[in-house]
Structure 1
Amino acid sequence: MGDTEFHRNSTFSFLVHDSVSFEWKIKSYNSIIMCNRQMKKIQSPLFSSKPDDKRKWYIEFVPKKIISGSTKELHIKLYRTDQDQIYVQACIFLKTATSERLLFDCDNECILYPGQWISFQENIGDVADELGWHENTPDILTIGVEIRTYFHSEVTHLTSIPKQVPLIDKQVPIIDLESRSLIADIATYFEDPTFKDVSFFIRNKEFTAHKNILASRSEVFATMFRVKMSEGLTSKVEVEDIEPVIFEKMLRFIYSDKVDDLKPAEASPLFFAAHKYDLEKLKNICIKSLYENLSIENVIQTLLLADLYSLGKLRESAMKFLVFHHSNLRNTYEFYSMVQSHPHFALELLQLQASSKL
Structure 2
Amino acid sequence: MFVHHMKYTYEWSLDVHSLSSSSSSTSMAGIEKSPVMLTKNNIKWHLYVDLRQVYRKTNQSFTVRLLLDELPKSDDNQILDIEFNVYLVAKDDITGHTRQLVVLYTTRLSPPVMINSNRTDIDTKNIVVVVDKELPFNDQMTDDNHQLVLYFELVYIEPRDQICQRIGTDLVDSLRTLMSSGDHSDVTLVVGSGGDGGDRQYSAHKCILSARSEFFRAMFANPMKESNDNRVIIDTADADVFDQLLEFIYTGSIGSGGGADIDPIAANRLLVCAEYYSLPDLKSICEHILSQTLTTGSAIDLLLFAIKYNARSLREKLIDYVANNYLEIELKSGHKLSDLFKTEPQLMQSIVHKIAKLNNIY
**What's the TM-score once normalised by structure 2's chain length?**
0.44
Name the larger-Rg structure.
Answer: 2
More strand by share: 2
